[in-house]
Structure 1
Amino acid sequence: MVEGNHSSITEFFIIGFPGLHPSYDSLIATICFLVYFFALVGNTIFLVLFVTDRNLHKPMYFIILHLVVSDVLYSSITLPKIIARYWFQAGTISFTACFLQMYFIHFFGTLNAFILLIMALDRFVAVCFPLRYSTVMTNSTILILSIASCVVATSFSLMMVIRAYPLPYCKSKAIIQCYCDHGSVTALACIDRSAYVFPALVFAMVVLLSPLAFIIFSYCAIIVAVFKIASTQGRLKTLSTCSPQLIIIALYFVPRCFVILASNVGVTFSTDLRIAIIMLYSLLPPMVNPLIYCLRTKEVKESLSKRFKRTVHI
C-alpha cells in the first residue's frame, strides 16, 4: 500500500465518450437529461403511491421501495455531472469529490444487486413455501435484510476507495468515462496498478455473482414449483407474480454478465462502445423500473388507476 497521497493532480476532468464529435454534445446532454427526468418522475410516482396507499405496505413493495430510493440516489450521483459535462463543458471534478462519487457509485451498484437478491428470496418463499410466507417475509425481515445489504455495500465501497485514494496520480487528469469509477480513476495512477486492480476485480465478481447465483437457484426452484401446479391458469397466475421482478433482475444482470463474458473470451469493444454499454446497464434500469412496477404489478396498477381517477374528478 502506498503511504500518503503524493498526487500532483488536485482535480480530474470527466471526458465521457472520447471519440464523440463535439457537435453531438448537446444531443448526449439532452438524452441524459431526459433519462434523469423520467427516472425521477417515474420513481417519484411510485413513492407517492406507496406513501398514500396502505395496500402497498407489504414486504414485496417495501423491497421495491428500497430499489426506488437506490435508483434515484444513484442517478442523482452520476447524471447531473454528465449533463453538465456535455451541456456546459463543466467536466471538472475535485480530487475528493471524485472519490466520494466513486464510493456512492459502487455502494449503490452493490446495494442494488443485494436488493434484487431479496426480491428473488421474496418470490422464492411466496411460490415454494406459500403457507410460511406471512411469517417468514415480514416487513421486519425485509428491514433486517436491507440493513445487512447496506453493510455489505458499505464495506465493499470503502475497500475500493481506501485502496484507490492513496495512489499517486500524475499520468493525466482526464477520466475516460462518464463518472469516477474505480477502474477509470486508478488507470491514471503512475505506478503498476495490477496489485490494486486484481483484488478489486475479484471482490467485485464475488459481490456480483453471489447474489446472481442465489437468484438463479431461486428461480429454478420457482419454475419447478410452478410445473407442479395442476391447472394452467394457476401456473400463469403464479408466473405473473414473478415476471416484474424477473424483468428487473434481467435488466441489471444480463448486460453486466455479457460484458464480463465478452472480455474473458477475447471479444473487444471500442472505448466509446464499452462506455455506452456501461451507461446503458447503469442508467437505463432507474428509468425503466418504474414502468415495470406500475404496468406489470397488479396492486400498483390499481393504486395508480384510483389515484388518476380521483385527480380527474377533482
Structure 2
Amino acid sequence: MNKQHSLDRLRKDIGNCEKHLKESAKMSNTTTSVSEFILQCAIESNQKTITIYVLGFIYFTSVFGNLLVILVVILNHQLHAPMYIYISTLAVIDLANGSILIPKMLSVLLLDSSVVPYAACVLQMFLLFHVEEMESLLLAFMAFDRYVAVIYPLWYPSLITNKRVGIGILVTNIVGLILKSPILFFVGELSFCHTNILPFCFCDYGTIVRVSCNEDPKYLTSLAAGVATTGAFPLFLILLSYIRIVIEALKISSAGGRSKIFSTCLTHLVVVGLFYIPLLLSYILSGSGATIATESYNIMFILGNVMPPMMNPIIYSFRNKEINKSIEKLFSRKTLTPKRRE
C-alpha cells in the first residue's frame, strides 16, 4: 500500500515538473528579447578574398557612376527636364542602396565584425525596405513618363513638368515612410528565444521574422502585402505601359521613329528587370513561407540590391545620348552651355 502511494506521489511530482517546464518554456518564448544580432556571413575561406574584391569593385563603380550621373544632370541645364530628374533621382537611390548594404558586408568579411546592435540592424532593414520601395515606384513614374510622351505627345509639356515630378517624388517618400512604419512595431513585438543569429551578411525583415519565436502569420502577411503593393503592382503598371507603347509604336510608319521608341523601352526594361526579378523572387518566396537555401536567398537579395546601383549609370551612359555627350564634355573640360531655343 505504501509502495503504491509512493508511486502515485512520484507520478504527481513528475506531472507537476512537466507542467512547470512547459509553462517556463512558453513564458521564455514570449518574453525573451535581444540587444544585438550576429550576422553569419557564411563564405568559404577560399572564396572570401574574391568576394571582398568583387564587392569593393561593385561599390566603387556604383559610387563613381551614380555621382557622375548626378553631376552631369546638375551642371547641364539641357538636362533639367522630367526624365533626367527621374534618372538623377534613381542615381541618388542607387547610391543609398549600395551604401546601406555593401560597407557592412565588407566589414563583416574583412574585420569579422559580425555583431550588430539591435537598433542598427532594424535601421538597416527599414532603410533597405525604403530604398527598394522608392526605386520600384520611381521606375513606375519613369514608365508613365514614357507612356505620356509616346501616347499623348501634345499633352506631355503640360502634364509632366519639373515641379510635378519633384512634388511626386517628395510625396512618395513621405507616404512610403508612413506606410512602412507598422513594420517597426511588428519587429518590436518579436521575441528570440532560440537564436539571435541571422544566416546572412545583412539584416532584413523576412530573416528576422524567421529566426524569431513568433508564429503569428501576420508578420509574414505584412511582408507579402508590402511586396504586392509597392513591388508587384508597380511592376504590373510598368509592363502595361510598355505594352501600350509597343502597340502604339507599331502603328508608326517611320522606321526611325519606331527604332527610337523601342530603344527607349529596351533601356528601361533592362533596368526594371535587373531590379525586380531577383528581389521579387526573394521576397515572394520568403513571404509565402517557402524554404529557401541560404545561399540562394543571399544571392537573390544581393543581386537585387547591389547589381542595379552599379549597372544603372552604365546603362544610361551608353544608351542615353545626352548623358553620354555631357560626360564627354565634362571630362574634356568643355563648358556645358544650353542650346538656344529657336
TM-score (norm 1): 0.90
SS at match of 1:130: coil
Runs of 4+ aligned residues of structure 1 deviating over 6 Å after TM superposition are 260-268
Provide the residue aligned with 2:46 in structure 1: 23
Pairing of 1:79-90 with structure 2 (within 5 A):
79-90=102-113
Pairing of 1:138-217 with structure 2 (within 5 A):
138-217=161-240
Q: Structure 1, residues 69-104: CA drift from partner, whole Å, max 9, x if none? A: 111011111111000001111111101111111110
**Structure 1: any 5+ residue segments left out of the alignment?**
none
Q: Assess if the C-alpha contact under 8 Å between 1:7 and 1:170 holds in 2.
A: yes
Which range is displaced more, 273-282 or 134-143? 273-282
Which range is displaced more, 203-212 or 90-99? 203-212
Provide the residue aligned with 1:305 in structure 2: 328
1:114 to 128, 137, 147: 137
Q: Assess if the C-alpha contact under 8 Å between 2:231 and 2:280 holds in 1.
A: no
One-letter amino acid of the structure 2 residue matched with residue 167 of structure 1: L
User: 1:241 and 2:264 equivalent?
Assistant: yes
User: 1:14 and 2:34 equivalent?
Assistant: no
Give me the identity figure in percent. 28
How much has 1:149 moved relative to structure 2? 1.8
Provide the residue aligned with 2:70 in structure 1: 47
Change (3 A) 1:147 1:170: same
Q: Assess if the C-alpha contact under 8 Å between 1:68 and 1:286 holds in 2.
A: yes
Change (3 A) 1:289 1:6: same
Provide the residue aligned with 2:97 in structure 1: 74
Q: Assess if the C-alpha contact under 8 Å between 2:224 and 2:287 holds in 1.
A: no
Change (3 A) 1:256 1:188: closer
How much has 1:6 moved relative to structure 2? 4.5
The RMSD of aligned alpha carbons is 2.2
User: 1:134 and 2:157 equivalent?
Assistant: yes
Q: Assess if the C-alpha contact under 8 Å between 1:6 and 1:167 holds in 2.
A: no
How much has 1:264 moved relative to structure 2? 10
How much has 1:269 moved relative to structure 2? 4.9
Provide the residue aligned with 2:19 in structure 1: none
One-letter amino acid of the structure 2 residue matched with residue 14 of structure 1: L
How much has 1:200 moved relative to structure 2? 2.4
How much has 1:240 moved relative to structure 2? 2.2
Change (3 A) 1:264 1:99: closer
One-letter amino acid of the structure 1 residue matched with residue 130 of structure 2: F
Aligned mates of 2:313, 2:332 — CA distance in 1? 20
Q: Structure 1, residues 133-179: CA drift from partner, whole Å, max 9, x if none? A: 11111111111221232133213332222211232223212111221
TM-score (norm 2): 0.83
SS at match of 1:12: strand
User: 1:227 and 2:254 equivalent?
Assistant: no
Aligned mates of 2:252, 2:99 — CA distance in 1? 44
The size of the alignment, in residue pairs, is 305
SS at match of 1:192: coil
Aligned mates of 2:81, 2:255 — CA distance in 1? 27
How much has 1:58 moved relative to structure 2? 0.7
